[in-house]
Amino acid sequence: MAKKKPNKAKAAKGKAAAKKSARKVVKLARAKKPAKKANGNGLPKPSSKPYGQAGLALQGVRILDFTHVQSGPTCTQLLAYMGADVIKVERPGVGDITRGQLRDVPNADSLYFTMLNGSKRSITIDSKNAKGKEILERLIKTCDVLVENFAPGALDRMGLTWEYIHKTNPRMIVASVKGFGPGPYEDCKVYENVAQCAGGSASTTGFREGPPLVTGAQIGDSGTGLHLALGIVSALYQRIRTGRGQKVLAAMQDGVLNLARVKLRDQQRLAHGPLTEYSQYGEGIPFGVAVPRAGNDSGGGQPGWIVKCKGWESDPDAYLYFITQAPVWQAICDVIGEPTWKTDPEYATPKARLPKLKQIFARIEQFTMTMTKFEAMELFNKHDIPCGPILSMKEIAEEQSLRTTGTVVEVDHPTRGKYLTVGNPIKLSDSPADVRRSPLLGEHTEEILTKVLGYKLSEIAEIKNSGAITAPDKSKAAA
């Protein structure tokens, strides 16, 4: 992969312009509530308000959101669900590229965009316009965190270097998603599947006989966004002690590797012998130098596999994941009708079973094919046998319990109508999730300029004329 040189001239120009406008900016103090009387630990007295009525976890935190596509927006959407005021900056007339990608409803923001940008406010600013830079400087002064996932060097080229930001607001945390951390690939652009491949997931996913596979779960993008959110919250916590911001970096390769850590565990185990829980061991196929793909083998010490259920011939999701957990082996034998396996030395111990897993799962499958995945789930769970139905996205979308917990939420959008989104997967007992629809492009521009940044209405007209918040007029450009 070729290295892209950062454009130093562009960056220097941006920096100089930003410094100049910084001097003009009025001082904007964030309204702060007086701190309640602290106890010996420096904490306020426990609130006497009922749980769920003491505000939201991240209330009072303001995020300057420069993210786009998926990884960064996942992070800032979660922070917004937790109560942060997320101000998404988008290019006038263009916006986040995903607004128009994979559109299902003509002229409406796509689900790609709407499902990743809920509960945020949108302001349009041309970050390369002089007036736009001035507005951004005010935002930097009034926000706690800047989050971005531009290609390497892009933020610097806007003049928003760490040095400039830190000087403008020493308390600001600057959080970035990049494809790679420092090293040979640090200047490369990266998308989801590149990260899955570079982070060790693809080489260990799929069937041994087939090519590497990427997973449907977006572990490179959404996974890294989650990592970044934890980094931001930790930096906010440290700032309470230090009073200063810091840089937070979540590289997609690192995030994927973190999620694939059991495979790095297995890589090291290989030096001490074959991986006995992989079905390849039972099949007598030798291991190579690297961790192989393991099909549907379970990653832990409890062997598992996917087995067919009733209707599998026509329903691609009529399957069950079945785990032969050692402590419930006796129950498994009774339920599937093989009681002699309980005492037969060929089957009675986990070690004895390892070379026979293929045959054992074939017998279990014979049994599960007589019932639906839901019937099988009910039956096995009565005996505490761990298993799970393979749920299609249709089944998940229709699952009432996920709606009840707020994990799947229906929201109403002014141009596209009702749509389903994933709500907050993390539940806090004292902080209800704030899940709202995504904003239209620039929907909150004037509101933020006046109410957050203190611009007067007369100044707004001037800003509009400068081209800082509106798309260039194409008819004028053509004339």
Q: Which is nearer to ligand COA, 89 or 409 (CB)?
A: 89
| 127 part of the interface to ligand COA, by CB under 6 A | yes
Q: Which of 150, 278, 341, 455 binds ligand COA (CB under 6 A)?
A: 150
From residue 324 to residue 363, the character string flagging contacts with ligand COA as x (rule: CB under 6 A) and all else as - is ----------------------------------------
Query: Per-residue x/- marks for ligand COA, 157-176, CB under 6 A?
Result: xx------------------
Measured from the CB atom, the residue of 212 and 472 that comes closer to ligand COA is: 472
Residues 201 to 260 in contact with ligand COA, rule: CB under 6 A: 221
Task: Work out the angle at residue 450's Cα, subtended by the Cα atoms of residues 445 and 453, and round it to the nearest 5 degrees.
Answer: 95
* Annotated active-site residue in 221, 254, 297, 434: 221
User: C-beta of 91: minimal distance to ligand COA in Å?
Assistant: 4
Instruction: Please report, as residue ranges, which positions from 71 to 110 form the binding site for ligand COA (by CB under 6 A).
Output: 71-72, 89-91
CB of residue 126 to ligand COA, shortest distance in Å: 5
Residue 235 CB, nearest approach to ligand COA (Å): 19
One of 61, 82, 115, 190 touching ligand COA (CB under 6 A): 190
- The DSSP symbol for 415 reads T
Structure tokens at 241: 């002690």
Cβ 351 vs Cβ 324: under 8 Å: no
230 with 290: CB under 8 angstroms?
no
How many helices (H) and strands (E) the chain has is answered by: 20, 11
Residue 158 token pair: 């806007």
Q: Of 263, 177, 222, 265, whose CA–CA distance to 70 is shortest?
A: 222
Can you give the C-alpha Rg of the chain in angstroms? 27
Out of 17, 54, 130, 151, the residue judged to bind ligand COA by CB under 6 A = 151
Q: Is 149 a residue that touches ligand COA (CB under 6 A)? A: yes
Per DSSP, helices labelled H in 83-221 are 111-114, 130-142, 154-157, 162-168, 192-198
For 213-240, give one letter per residue: b (16+ CB within 10 A) or e: ebbeebbbbbbbbbbbbebbbebbeebe
344 is catalytic: no
Q: Distance between CA atoms of 230 and 222, rounded to whole angstroms?
A: 13
Binding of ligand COA by 287 (CB under 6 A): no
User: Which helix (H) or strand (E) covers residue 9, if one does?
Assistant: helix 8-24
Binding site for ligand COA (CB under 6 A): 69-72, 89-91, 125-128, 149-151, 154, 157-158, 177-179, 189-191, 221
